[in-house]
Amino acid sequence: MALSDLDEIVALLQTNDGEYITNMIDASTKIGTSPLGDAYAMMCHSRMIPVLNNITGFRRKFEYGTGSINTLSSEWGGVNNVRAFQSSQGSISAASSLLGNDIANCFISAYEGYKVVFQAGGRAKYIYTPPGVLNDPAHLRHAAACSFDGKDEGKFSLIDLEAYGYAIAA
């Protein structure tokens, strides 16, 4: 995973009018702090910590400045417009690379990726496409969406880096 990979996902979410999940954190007057822009949330397995730490420009949350007191314990850090949250319960696809290695599924979400929809009547439909469908010869890409009252929002707001074409060894 490289900074350019994350920037492409941010550009895609911006193209889809995805709203940021977190607001900008200013730097403080303390030495070694830097600001972090409005950001989307990336959820990943804790095995990704060494990969995150090696991304160009990645800042651990203790470098955020005054805003670091308002972070979650699962937040590891951030870069540009992505803040990374890790958990030992994160998604790993075991032995799924061409070499038989594990692949970490890192999900980057816009605010719209998590919604509560209150409906009075009507219908909701969950749509899932398994790997190997829709021009996916390597059987890597999942797709999921919800449609309410037959109206599909038509834009992705939760993106799996692996599904977008980035295999991330964990």
- Tens digit of pLDDT per residue, the chain (170 long)? 889 889 988 888 888 888 888 877 776 666 666 777 888 989 889 999 999 999 999 989 888 766 556 678 888 999 989 999 999 988 888 888 788 888 888 888 887 665 555 556 666 666 777 777 767 777 766 666 666 554 445 455 665 655 444 444 44
* CB contact at 8 A, 87 and 105: no
Q: Rounded to 10 degrees, what is the CA torsion of 102, 7, 164, 92? A: 20
For residue 152, the cross-strand partners are 147
Global pTM value: 0.67
**Half-sphere exposure (Cβ direction) of 32: Cα atoms closer than 13 Å:** 6
Closest CA to 38 of 72, 73, 81: 81
**Tell me, what's the pLDDT at 79?**
92
Q: What confidence score (pLDDT) does residue 51 get?
A: 93
pLDDT of 96:
81
Nearest to 22 by CA among 90, 76, 71, 87: 71
Beta-carbon contacts of 63 under 8 Å, excluding residues fewer than 6 positions away, are 32, 33, 34, 77
pLDDT at 169: 44
